[in-house]
Amino acid sequence: MSTLHARIAASFGAQGLMQTLGATLSLVEEGEVHIELPFSAHLSQQHGYVHAGAVTSVVDSACGYAALTRAAPGQEIVTAEFKINFLRPALGERFVAVGQVQSAGKLLTVCTGEVRAFRAGEAGYKIVAMMQATMVSVAAAR
């Protein structure tokens, strides 16, 4: 495991919400992170789709961790703001939230994210949500 992957995995493992959702890290690269979310009826809303709150949580985290891959040692990342668009119902057996850094500065990092839905019997995926987010670099808690 690379130092970069270890840094992201350690922080991810400390997130209670990601554990509660059943989310896992599936890719960590410089400027890009993927988080997988399996479908669970426990995460659904009244129509059977994955709830917007769960979708938003995983893509926000994917963007935040993408930003962390570009942050200086001793720095952590928190979300300053985001905008999310839901393009279609979150239907599928699994979802992949992809966070990508678009511009990284000393203090602010702008990321884009998307959530991809994968369904059995269908080739490829459908994008169910897109996000633009601003992340802030802060000193790590001691």
141: confidence class by pLDDT, cuts 50, 70, 90:
confident
Q: How many domains does the chain have?
A: 1
The 3-state secondary structure of the chain, one letter per residue: CCHHHHHHHHHHHCCHHHHHHCCEEEEEECCEEEEEEECCHHHECCCCCECHHHHHHHHHHHHHHHHHCCCCCCEEEEEEEEEEEECCCCCCCEEEEEEEEEEECCCEEEEEEEEEEECCCCCCCEEEEEEEEEEEEEECCC
Measured over the CA atoms of residue 97, residue 116, residue 131 and residue 31, the dihedral's sign is positive
38: nearest Cα among 14, 56, 21, 53: 21
pLDDT score recorded for residue 99: 98
Q: Mean pLDDT across the stretch 8-32?
A: 97
Query: pLDDT tens digit string along 100-140?
Result: 999 999 999 999 999 999 999 999 999 999 999 999 999 98
Query: pLDDT tens digit string along 86-99?
Result: 999 999 999 999 99
CA max distance for the chain:
49
Does the pTM surpass 0.85? The reply is yes
Number of other residues whose CB lies within 10 A of the CB of residue 88: 11
Quote the domain boundaries for residue 72.
3-139
Residue type, 99: G
pLDDT score recorded for residue 1: 73
pLDDT score recorded for residue 97: 98
> Can you tell me the distance from the alpha carbon of 35 to that of 97, in angstroms, rounded to the nearest whole number?
5
Residue type, 87: L
Domain of 27, CATH number, reads 3.10.129.10
